[in-house]
Each structure stands twice: as C-alpha cells, then as structure tokens.
Amino acid sequence: MYERLLRVRSWKPLLPDGGAWFRRGFPKARLNSRSPDYLLLFAAETRRGEWAHWVMLLTLPLFGLWNTADGMLVVTIWLLAGNLPCIVVQRYNRARLLRVIGERGRLCYTGEEKSRHDAKGAGTMKLFVAEKAASWYKQELALSEGDHVRLFVRMGGCGSVVPGLSLGIMRDEPRQPGLEAQVEGVNFYIEQDQLWYLDNRDLHITFDPETEDIQMDVR
C-alpha cells in the first residue's frame, strides 16, 4: 500500500528530518548501522515521532478559541499537510524495519536456540489455541462464529523470540495466512510474511485463570 498506492518512496526524501534539528535528537534520514540494537531503537523512534505528529494534530481545536471559520480552515489544512505525510512515512519506515529486525534478530539467538531451529526445519510450525483462550477472545472482542482474528508482530511487549518485539491480536480478514487454527468457531491466523517471528517453532495460546489473562508461548 505504501509504495504502490501512496508512492511514499518518491516524496519521502522531500520531508525534513526533525530529529536532526536537536542536539539529542535521533536522525532518521538514513540508517547509520545495521546492528539489532540500533534497528530496534530506530523503530521505537518512528513510533515516538508518529505520536508527536498526532499530538500536534490534536491541538487543532485550540485554534478555534481565537480564529474565525476562515482562519480555522487555513489552520486545518496547514496542520494536516504538515503532519499526515510525516505520520505515513513513520509507519512506512517502521514496517520496513520490522522486516529487517526479523532477519537480523536471528543473530541474538543462543547456540541452543539456533540448533533447535536447524533441527526442526521449516514448514512444521503449528498454531494451538486453547478453548478457554478462544472463549476469552470471543467475549473481549465481541466475536461471532466465522470471524477471523489476526496475530501480528508489534513493537514492545514481553515477547520471548526477538528482543523488543511481541505478538498483538486484532480482528481482520486474512490475505495470505501462513498458520491457521479454528477454535470455538473463530479462525485464528498469522500471515505468511509474519512467520519469521516464530523461528520455526509452535505458538501456544492459553488462558491463565490465576491472572485471568492470555498467555502466548513460542516453543
């Protein structure tokens, strides 16, 4: 979408790099390293940068305190033009970084993990969703039979596979699912291009009655 529809690559270099304006800022015009730590920091900075632009957009109602209708129109156009392109670029960069981190993240595995990965081989991963976990999701997300739930890689959280990343979950229609499991009438899946996170291991989703929360284990 970012490249085919929005053509981000063609106009992205025209935007200023605000991080380079400050002494302790984080320049994001180019990659200065390919180390996993730097890539994770870069991805985190794109999230902070995106939120900074959203905050600026949220100030729009304040301008209505002293502006006329015509003035508000000008301010609205100015804020949208100055922030929406930057938000799109931050999301575009973060999506690309997540793919790179997924490959580079293998450098962080221990020898034991690498041996397990090589021994198991590709194409043998499975997705297990406990019935109580599926029931919990049905209640919390107001799901009905036949609905689809996507598991996706996100920044932050308490993931145990790639440092700095974890799995999120949302209702969404599948495009190219790599793993699927139907439990309690709900279809859980992971897209093919997100399977790198599991590192050829199985994903177990269970419900912990003590914490009354979901547990995701990759093993």
Tell me, yes or no, if the pTM score tops 0.95.
Answer: no
Domain count within the chain = 2
- Residues 211, 219: Cα–Cα separation, whole Å: 21
pLDDT at 71 over 70: yes
pLDDT of residue 111: 45
Residue-number span of the structural domain to which 206 is assigned: 118-218
pLDDT of residue 121: 45
pLDDT of residue 181: 94
User: Do 122 and 78 sit in the same domain of this protein?
Assistant: no
Q: Is residue 191 domain-resident?
A: yes
pLDDT at 20 over 70: no
User: Do 126 and 103 sit in the same domain of this protein?
Assistant: no
Q: Is residue 113 domain-resident?
A: no
Amino acid at 49: G
- Closest CA relative to residue 108, chosen from 147, 154, 162: 162
pLDDT at 164 over 90: no
Q: Is residue 144 domain-resident?
A: yes
Segments of the chain assigned E as strands: 127-129, 148-155, 165-171, 177-183, 186-191, 203-208, 213-218
Last residue in a domain, options 107, 126, 160: 107
Q: Is residue 124 domain-resident?
A: yes
Provide mean pLDDT across the span 128-149.
92
Last residue in a domain, options 107, 142, 158: 107
